[in-house]
Each structure stands twice: as structure tokens, then as C-alpha cells.
Amino acid sequence: MAHKVYSHWLIEKTHENDNIPRWFDAFLIDRKAQGLAAGTIEFYGWKLRLIDRFFYTQGISNVNEITPDIIRAMMINLESSHTPGGVHQVYRVIRTFLRWYAIEAEPDNWHDPLANIKPPRLSEIPLSPVTTNDVKKLIAVCPDSFTGNRDKAIFLFLLDTGVRASELCALNREDVDEIEGSVQVKNGKGGKSRIVVMGKKTRKAMRAYLRSRSDDDDPLWLTDDGDRLSYAGLNHMLERRAKQARIPKPGLHDFRRAFALNCLRNGMDIFSLQRLMGHADLQVMRRYLAQTDDDLREAHARSSPVDNAM
């Protein structure tokens, strides 16, 4: 064969062909064939690489060697470097892969190692957003250069639009109206499209970044080498800038939480916020709105039936 295609009708069901990296590749090809968004594919790839590295350290190289104890050990290991939400993401990815593998490979005497493992418990306490003070510190360490202008624009863009990190990486120049400030997110979560908006300061930072470019390439966010900035690259950039700013590294999703909470605090109605964030229902919004006791007291002071009407 001139090239390898990892599909069950081409892979002989032998011990050697249960090789984990090969099946991970085949899984990603299947996700692409189903038309999943590029950001979603990259997310799967990133998590699968993390899973593969852990399996490698445990001497696990074949799918049939994955046991419930190995899965539990991985979940425990992740707790030292991931939030509960991050651990849950890895669990969902390995669960999706194993269910797909059982259908695709039709292995003999297969027993799903996740069959008796409950999902990691998610905290009911909403996670805190990145603070505006920390965003200012991140911006302060961005020099007047191509990457400095790009990173400054990215931090403001994430905070001002509430887009997911994967959505940011997938944007092209044509999706952005620098004058009006509107941005078309063409392939959001679930393949849905929506419009988000940049304010004046973010538009100014965006123009400064685009002026520092001398190319006509489609991707909105580029690396030094002229490639599209990836999710992993974006995360590494944030880690580097946080170290320079001497602050704990915020998560990429923390910017989205900050957008939601600050919009609510500044008086945006919940339905407009829901549309900007691309949520199908209001139930999902609850996890983003980590209102403090002060927020609740202020809300009550504005709306108290007794104080306002009696």
C-alpha cells in the first residue's frame, strides 16, 4: 500500500495491530470523516497524546492491555495537574474512543475497561474566571513586536468576545470586520455558527497586530513560522506569558468565564449573553456565572420587592 489507512476492514485483528497509537490515529480519521470541527479534532488529538504518554509510562502499548486499574491510575495521576473539569474531559475522550473501538474493531472477548468506572465527580462550585488585573499583567509583558502584538490582541479578544479557545484558533481574516467589530464564528460547538463582537480597545489591538503582518494568509492567528496557531500553541503561549508576568497560569476557558460574569455584572441580559456564548439553553450558563456574595447582595439591593416598593 502506498499509504496507511487505519480502518477496521484494512487492519487484521491481531495482537500486533491493537497498537494504541495506530488506533488513536484511526479514531481521529473517523472523527474527521464525520465532519467534526477542526478545533474539536485538535482537542481530541491533544487529549489522546496525553493519554498515550501515560499508557507508555505504564508499559501499555496495545488496546487489549487497558484495564480498569490502568484507567483509575490515570485519573488519579491527572488530579495533580488538571482541574476536575480537565480530568473529566480526559475521561470523556477515552470513553468515546473505547466505545468507538468496540464497534470499529469488533474485538474478540472484549470487555470495556470503563464499564464499572464512574465518571470523575465535577465540583458544584463554579470555577473562578481570570481576573482583569491578571489580564492587564499578561498584556504588560507583551512587547511591541509581531508576537507581542498578537498575544496582546489574543488576550483582549478572548476576554471581550467569550469565544472558546478552539473557535479562536479556527478563525480566518475574512471572519473579522475590523471596522464594525463583528466576528463570525463559523463552526462553533456542535457545528453551529454565531456572531460575536469586539469592543473599541480590542479592535485597536487587532489592527495593530494585523499591521505587524506582511502576509495575506487566511488564518487570523499565526505562529512565527507562518502556520495557523494551534490550541496547544495557544496554551503554551499563555503559559509562557503567565510565567513572564509572574502570575499563576489561568486556563484558556477562564477567559470565557470572565466574559460571562463581567457581562452579567455590567448589566447584559441573560438571553443576549446566551447567544454570544453559543449556548443552546440557559442551563449550561449556570456553570459560568460564579457570582460572589457581593454580587448577590447588589442584585438584591437593586431588585428587593420590599425596599423598592414599600
Name the grid cell of 14. 491481531
Choose the catalytic residue: 150, 164, 241, 257.
Answer: 164
Beta bridge partners of 176: 183
CA 122 to centroid of chain Cα atoms: 17
DSSP state of 80: T
Residue 1: burial class (beta carbons within 10 Å; 0-12, 13-18, 19+): exposed
Choose the catalytic residue: 189, 204, 213, 249.
Answer: 189
Calculate the dihedral angle through the C-alpha atoms of 252, 77, 289, 42, rounding to the nearest 10 degrees. 40
- Those residues whose C-beta lies under 8 Å from the C-beta of residue 77, and which sit 6 or more positions away, are 54
Choose the catalytic residue: 152, 241, 253, 257.
Answer: 253
Choose the catalytic residue: 152, 203, 256, 257.
Answer: 256
Active site residue 189: yes
Active site residue 164: yes
Active site residue 288: yes
How far apart CA 191 and CA 171 sit, in angstroms, is 14
Active site residue 231: no
List active site positions: 164, 189, 253, 256, 279, 288
